[in-house]
Structure 1
Amino acid sequence: MKKMLVLYSTVDGQTLKIIKAIEEVISNQYTCEIMNIDECEHIDMAIFDKVVIGASVRYGHLNKKLYQFVAANKTQLEAKDNSFFCVNLTARKAEKNTPETNAYMQAFLEKSSWVPKQQAVFAGALLYSKYNWWQTLIIQLIMKITGGSTDKTNDIEFTDWDKVKSFAKTL
């Protein structure tokens, strides 16, 4: 069976949840090794047939470790069949949920100088129940500015699971 390296960066766990859904779809084709990008710097990718990286946005930024990893491993990444997906709340809006229309994906492509062979953007989750008071305040402000929910009594999952499954099938 083919081997897939799946790296992720997540804040509240939604990116990992998406990865688990992807793994479920492809489990008959690939054996997945899933690793948090915060816990690895250099990996010998020679043993993997494919590399998938998923990362979430928090307060308008992707994890710095993601950029460091890509810079340190760009040659290996480019030599492999590879994919990258970005998880963010902006993608909850139809006009901002594709790699071409999502500002965070476009910023990643510019900043990293790596162009993944496959790209996807998924909406994340608004999990007020997991945020401390400061995070709640900041995220409510962002939601107010962008027309999202400021009701901290309800968590909202915006992830389109059919879109995730469709992406997984392309892997």
Structure 2
Amino acid sequence: MRGGRHRIEHVELLQDRDVARFAELDVVASMQPTHMDWTLPDHTDNWSTRIGAERCGRAWRYRDILAAGGHVALGSDWPIAAFDPREIMAGARLRRPVAEPDRAPVLPEQALSAQQVLAGYTTEAAYGAGEEEVAGRVRVGMRADLAVFDGDPRTCAPDELPDLGVACTIVGGRIVHEAL
């Protein structure tokens, strides 16, 4: 399918009855984990006070959508928020800013695994764009747009993700960055 699928951007707040609808309707939840950086677990931040304490418990429900069979594509919301995928992948696993190890996580039960986070940036993002037949995987015949880290983002601790070096970046099958 080329041309994209229906998707909802900035799925920050979701009622229980709507979680399963993402899978039922094949609508992709496009989520930006960096938005949690501005949310505090005690709900004293601006976003939480505006939506109210009762609704704060239904925020950024990545894991619930995936558990219901839905698709979650991850991104940065650049230029509004930081765009480094290493920090965003760490935040989706930690449910707090990576640079704040003493800060409690926001709804830690919604944290994603390392594999789910990597899928959110690759196969799930390609699915959301309707490009799962040509992108999102390292495979012969697929478009080669990828970054090669000098460590495995699936096995390193989330707090260490931002420190993984970028060994190489490939766009359209061409190396556009190579570490010295």
Identify whether the pair has TM-score above 0.5, normalized to the shorter chain.
no
TM-score, normalisation: structure 2: 0.28
Rg larger for? 2
